[in-house]
Amino acid sequence: MRRKLIAGNWKMNGSLAGNAALLDGLRAGCANLNADLAVCVPAPYLAQVQATLTGSGIVWGAQDVSVHESGAYTGEVSVSMLKDFACRYVIVGHSERRSYHGESDELVAQKAVRALGAGLVPIVCVGETLQEREQGQTNAVVTRQLKAVLDAVGTQLAGIVIAYEPVWAIGTGKTATPDMAQQVHELIRTNLAQRDAAAASTIQVLYGGSMKPDNAKELLAMADIDGGLIGGAALKAADFLAIAQAA
Ligand code: PEP
């Protein structure tokens, strides 16, 4: 039985004062949950999150990482910097990075490898656009994105988390139905099992895309949905905790 993981992606939101209120709310409400909680925050707030959440049971991470270890890469953040702030997770290949920053399947795969090498857990995002879904390419796109990562991580497969995030559902209020999501999660599980059956049975495959308190329960009830990657609803403690309670 895989334990559920509810991970928040704050994206480029937050302020010291606003984060303090949100984190206090999460700390206050996180006891007795049947799910693990994580928040992936903008890098400048990692120190605040570490100071506030240490000892709470909630873990934290970043939203992206460089493929380089150090050097002349202005604006980049390395895995060792994330380790300095005791990050557990790092999101790689979010669709906003793929589309606005031109990240290729290969770059995403290299980031996953770099994260694993540093002892971080990469949350690898995959998912199709609306056009790709309408053209019947969902399975091919997800399989291609996944293959790049699976080829690159090799025997370290068991150390990753995957998030299926249909691009058309992110931040739009449109959610994949539980059956639609389950169909892709099953495809992902099958792809994983072809590499390593034992790892496939333990790897958490999260759903992301307008998951909210009112739709979380049905999605999280599906056989291959092991949690959620939550954007908008992660910015309100009550909503984020309600999703965790639905798990
Ligand atoms: C995301 O950014 O990963 C996400 C799923 O966003 P939202 O929940 O707002 O759709």
Among candidate residues 158, 91, 159, 89, the one with its CA nearest the CA of residue 124: 91
Ligand 1 atom, smallest distance to 234 CA: 8
Which residues of the chain are modeled with pLDDT < 70?
A: none
| Active site annotation includes 106 | no
Q: Tell me how far the alpha carbon of residue 232 lies from the centroid of ligand 1, in angstroms.
A: 6
**pLDDT for residue 109:** 98
Residue closest by Cα to atom 6 of ligand 1: 231
Which of 98, 167, 210 is the best mutation target for the ligand 1 pocket, counting ligand atoms within 8 Å of the beta carbon and taking the most?
Answer: 210
Q: Say yes or no: CB of residue 113 within 6 Å of ligand 1.
A: no
What is the pLDDT at residue 206? Answer: 98
CA triple 175-180-186, angle to 5 deg: 125
Instruction: Give the position, in ligand 1's atom list, of the atom nearest the Cα of 165.
Output: 5
185 is catalytic: no
Q: 229 CB under 6 A from ligand 1?
A: yes
pLDDT in tens, 168-219: 999 998 889 999 999 999 999 999 999 999 999 999 999 999 999 999 999 9
SS3 16: helix
Query: What is the pTM for the complete model shown?
Result: 0.98
**Length in residues, the chain:** 247
Q: What is the pLDDT of residue 1?
A: 75
Which amino acid would we find at residue 215? N
Q: Do 6 and 37 form a contact (C-beta atoms < 8 A)?
A: yes
Cα(228) to centroid of ligand 1, in Å?
9
Q: How remote is the C-alpha of 122 from its chain's centroid?
A: 8
